[in-house]
Structure 1
Amino acid sequence: MADRPDAARRADLQLDQPSGTRSFAQFLRFNPDAIGHYAELIARFLGTGRYLAIQTIIVIVWIIINVAWVALRFDPYPFILLNLAFSTQAAYAAPLILLAQNRQADRDKVQAEEDRARAAQTRADTEYLARELASLRVAIGELATRDFIRGELDRLVPPDDEAAARRKKERKRRREQQAREAAAD
Structure 2
Amino acid sequence: MADQRRTERLDQPRAPRGLRLPRIDAETFGRWSEGIARGMGTANFIVYMTLVIAAWFAWNTLAPENLRFDPYTFTFLTLVLSLQASYAAPLILLAQNRQADRDRIALEEDRRRATMQKADTEYLAREIAALRIALGEVATRDFLRSELARLAEELDEAAERRRKLERRQQEREARRQAGGEPLDEPRDDLDGDFAHDGRFDG
TM over 0.5: yes
1:43 is aligned, of 37, 48, 51, to 37
Higher mean alpha-carbon deviation, 105-114 vs 144-153, is at 144-153
The SS at the match of 1:78 is coil
Offset at 1:148?
A: 1.5
Q: Deviations over 1:25-82 (max 9, x none)?
A: x432111111111110000001011001110111011111100112310111000000
The SS at the match of 1:30 is coil
2:61 is aligned, of 67, 85, 94, to 67
The aligned amino acid for 2:42 is T
Offset at 1:22?
A: 7.2
Q: How does 1:113-132 map to 2 (within 5 A)?
A: 113-132=108-127
Distance 1:81 1:133, change over 3 A: same
**Higher RCO, 1 or 2 (CA under 8 Å, sep at least 6)?**
1
Task: Show the counterpart of 1:106.
Answer: 101
The aligned amino acid for 1:63 is F
CA distance in 2, matches of 1:22, 1:100: 33
Distance 1:54 1:154, change over 3 A: closer
Offset at 1:23?
A: 4.3
Offset at 1:145?
A: 2.2
Q: Deviations over 1:114-165 (max 9, x none)?
A: 000000001111111111111111111110124214546879xx99x9xxxx
Higher mean alpha-carbon deviation, 63-72 vs 101-110, is at 63-72
Task: Show the counterpart of 2:133.
Answer: 138
The SS at the match of 2:23 is coil
Runs (4+) off by over 2 Å: 20-24, 149-155
CA distance in 2, matches of 1:114, 1:153: 56
Distance 1:53 1:153, change over 3 A: closer
Q: How does 1:4-19 map to 2 (within 5 A)?
A: none
Whichever of the two has the greater Rg, that structure is 2
Task: Show the counterpart of 1:52.
Answer: 46
The SS at the match of 1:71 is helix
CA distance in 2, matches of 1:120, 1:87: 49
Structure 2: 5+ residue stretches without partners: 1-14, 157-202
Q: How many residues align?
A: 142
CA distance in 2, matches of 1:31, 1:116: 31
Percent identity of the aligned residues? 52
